[in-house]
Structure formats: C-alpha cells, structure tokens
C-alpha cells in the first residue's frame, strides 16, 4: 500500500494512493482510524479488509479522487520521534576528504544516529525559514523508514519486520548554525531543528519486494535497489541509490532499540546519500577547482526529490517575514 495523510475540511484523514488517485480508507470501514499510527496497530482483519478493497480500486471498480485535489501532509503528521542515521560511506568519506581528514575507523564499527525535532516534521509544500537558516541553507537527500510496531532490544536479523514503510526524506540543514554549535561538540541542534520533510506517502515493504538486493558484505538486513535524485529549480544536482547504504535499516534499528523501546510512528532516516547535499558538492567542487562558486538554497527555490517506488517530494523554500537573527546575538 501507499498510505497518505491529508487534510479534508480541516481534519487529518488517512488515505491510500491507487492509480495516482487518493482513496479515503474510512470508506472501506468506518471503524478504521484516521490516524496512520493507529492504523499500524489495527487488527490484521481490518488491514486485510483494506487491502481487499484497494484491490477493487486497482480493478477500477471504485471511484477515486485526484491527488492534486488534496493538501498532503507528512505521511506521519505527528511522529512519536525522529532519528537520522549516517549510513552512506560515500557521503561520509567525501565530506571528510573535502575537509582534509580521513574517514575514521569507527564508521565501519557501528551505525550511529542523532535525534532531531519530531515536531518540525512536515510534508510537501512550502517550508518557511528564518534569516539565519539562509546562511548556507542546504538540502539532504535521504530515504526514511517508519516503525510499525513496538519493540525493544531488537536483533538486526529480526528488525525488518518492524518497518511499516518507506518514504523520501529531505533533512534541511542550516550549515552556518550547524557548524558553529558543533564547535562545542554538541548537536546538530539549531542547524537542523526547523524542518525535516518526509513524503509524499509511505510505501509498505511488500510494494518494494521486486527491488530487494543483498546487504553489503558483512551486514545484515534488507537492502533495495532504488535510484535517488534531487533537482533544485529543475536542475539535477544529486544522484544516488538506496542500495549504497553501508549500514542497513535493520542494523540501525538494532542500535536504536538497545535498552530503549521504539514505537509505531517513530521515523528513522538513512543519512545523506553520496552527492546528496550542497555541503558535499561544494567541497568536491572546490577541491577540483579553486574558483568553484558554492551554491546554497535561496528563498523561492524549489527542491524536488524522487526515489524509485516512493514517489516525488516537492517543496518550495520561503522566507519568514522578519529580520530577527540569533547569529547576531553572539557575544
């Protein structure tokens, strides 16, 4: 299934995408929840009813409404938490090389992640940024999972069963803020707490079975051959593939759940794919050409991301109507 959260008459609704149209899941059964997190916890019977009804839609025996007629939200509008990983060696290696430092051995020893602001998760549409965010504003092309059932101390070999679905993630980053605060060996915090975009919908693992590939040597869990691309103002700036993840989501879940309960609705990002942000691209450009002109996101830029099987996520960067700066408050 391709599950979507959207607004109707000011209320959050849960739907499914079929034939590029949107079908309200409460039309299947009025007892189905409107909330996607509650849907994950529905009985198997209710979920089977949903799948059966969706198969009728696939046969075009039921009507649907065009997606463009609705305001899409993040697939999980109110995540229970949001973590972001560091799974792609190419990105980590290139970013460190561009700073003149080697890849540290710890990258190959364990997967890492940080917590970001789950209350700042949003879906397609406008993203409003403060003046300081525009000091080196960056996109990050990622894939994310959403947890579908509660668990604790989950071994990697069992972890894929806890994934409810996959979605595109754009981990927007204010690099000036990020780099300043990380000089104190804390964060990222203000540099990444203002907007994390996911969407346009959540794709259940069964829909991606034809894309399955083995994990990299020495790793455990499912991996997927899914092309990833990003355009800024219709200019292609990044290309990668989910299969290049060195650490699998199963391994990341294992670490996340050690001594901790994970819950339905938790979002976990992969980390940036290789070439998946201006920070890396600018560093590589400067390395090869001292006269390279760095590029960053500006007000009214449009960022479009696609991942095979997961759809297309589009956002427009907007400037808040203020000149307030916390960078200007530095002592």
Q: What is the predicted pLDDT for the residue at 138?
A: 98
For the ranges 6-10, 135-139, 197-201, the lowest mean pLDDT is seen at 6-10
Residues 167 and 116 in one domain: yes
**How many angstroms separate the CA atoms of 157 and 153, rounded?**
12
Residues 136 and 274 in one domain: yes
Share of residues in the chain with pLDDT > 70 (%): 97
**How many angstroms separate the CA atoms of 193 and 114, rounded?**
12
Q: What is the mean pLDDT of residues 149-165?
A: 97
Joined tokens for residue 20: 């590029």
- Angstrom distances, CA of residue 316 to CA of 75, 118, 287, 304: 18, 20, 30, 9
Do residues 89 and 96 make contact, with C-beta atoms less than 8 angstroms apart? no
SS3 of residue 112 by DSSP: coil
Residues 304 and 172 in one domain: yes
**How many angstroms separate the CA atoms of 331 and 329, rounded?**
6
Query: How many domains is the chain built from?
Result: 2
- Residues 112, 115, 120, 121, CA torsion sign: positive
pLDDT digit string, tens, across residues 278-289: 999 999 999 999
Range(s) of the domain holding residue 321: 81-329
pLDDT above 60 (res 61): no
Q: What is the predicted pLDDT for the residue at 197?
A: 98
Residues 67 and 166 in one domain: no
Q: What is the mean pLDDT of residues 48-74?
A: 76
Please give the radius of gyration of the chain, using alpha carbons only, rounded to the nearest integer: 20
For the ranges 42-46, 218-222, 234-238, 313-317, the lowest mean pLDDT is seen at 42-46
Give the contacts of 103 (CB within 8 A, at least 6 positions apart). Answer: 89, 92, 93, 96, 97
Q: What is the mean pLDDT of residues 215-241?
A: 98
Confidence band for 162, pLDDT divided at 50, 70 and 90: very high
pLDDT digit string, tens, across residues 73-108: 999 999 999 999 999 999 999 988 888 888 999 999
Helix (H) or strand (E) holding 101: none
Residues in the chain: 331
**How many angstroms separate the CA atoms of 254 and 188, rounded?**
22
- Residues 31, 36, 37, 42, CA torsion sign: positive
Q: What is the predicted pLDDT for the residue at 147?
A: 98
pLDDT above 70 (res 64): no
Q: What is the mean pLDDT of residues 246-261?
A: 98
Mean pLDDT of all residues belonging to the chain: 93
Regarding pTM above 0.75, the answer is: yes
- Label the pairing between strands 266-269 and 81-85: parallel
Q: Any idea what the CATH number is for the domain that residue 88 is in?
A: 3.90.850.10
Q: What is the predicted pLDDT for the residue at 272?
A: 97
Residues 150 and 264 in one domain: yes
Last residue of a domain, one of 18, 51, 72: 72
Q: What is the mean pLDDT of residues 106-129?
A: 97
Residues 33 and 108 in one domain: no
Q: What is the predicted pLDDT for the residue at 42?
A: 84
């Amino acid at each position: 299934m391709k599950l979507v959260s959207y607004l109707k008459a000011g209320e959050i609704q849960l739907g499914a995408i079929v034939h590029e149209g949107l079908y309200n899941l409460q039309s299947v059964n009025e007892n189905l929840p409107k909330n996607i997190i509650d849907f994950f916890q529905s009985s198997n019977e209710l979920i089977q009813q949903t799948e059966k009804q969706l198969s009728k839609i696939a046969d075009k025996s039921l009507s649907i409404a065009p997606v463009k007629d609705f305001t899409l939200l993040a697939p999980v509008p109110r995540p229970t938490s949001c973590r972001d990983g560091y799974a792609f060696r190419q990105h980590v290696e290139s970013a460190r090389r561009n700073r003149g430092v080697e890849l540290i051995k710890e990258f190959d020893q364990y997967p890492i992640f940080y917590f970001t602001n789950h209350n700042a998760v949003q879906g397609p549409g406008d993203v409003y940024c403060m003046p300081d965010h525009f000091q080196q504003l960056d996109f990050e092309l990622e894939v994310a999972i959403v947890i579908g059932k509660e668990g604790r101390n989950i071994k990697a070999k069992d972890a894929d069963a806890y994934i409810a679905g996959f979605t595109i993630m754009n981990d927007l980053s204010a690099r000036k803020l990020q780099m300043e605060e990380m000089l104190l060996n804390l964060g990222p915090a203000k540099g990444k707490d203002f907007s994390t975009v996911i969407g346009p919908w959540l794709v259940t693992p069964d829909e991606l079975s034809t894309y399955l590939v083995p994990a990299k040597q020495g790793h455990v869990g499912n991996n997927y051959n899914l092309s990833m691309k990003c355009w800024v103002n219709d200019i292609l700036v990044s290309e990668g593939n989910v299969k290049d993840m060195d650490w699998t989501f199963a391994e990341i879940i294992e670490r996340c759940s050690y001594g901790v309960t994970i819950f339905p609705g938790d979002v976990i990002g992969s980390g940036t794919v290789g070439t998946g942000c201006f920070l890396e691209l600018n560093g590589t450009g400067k390395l090869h050409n001292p006269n390279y002109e760095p590029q960053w996101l500006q007000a009214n830029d449009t960022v479009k991301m696609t991942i095979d099987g997961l759809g297309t996520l589009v956002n427009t960067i907007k400037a808040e109507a203020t000149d307030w700066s916390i960078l200007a408050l530095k002592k």
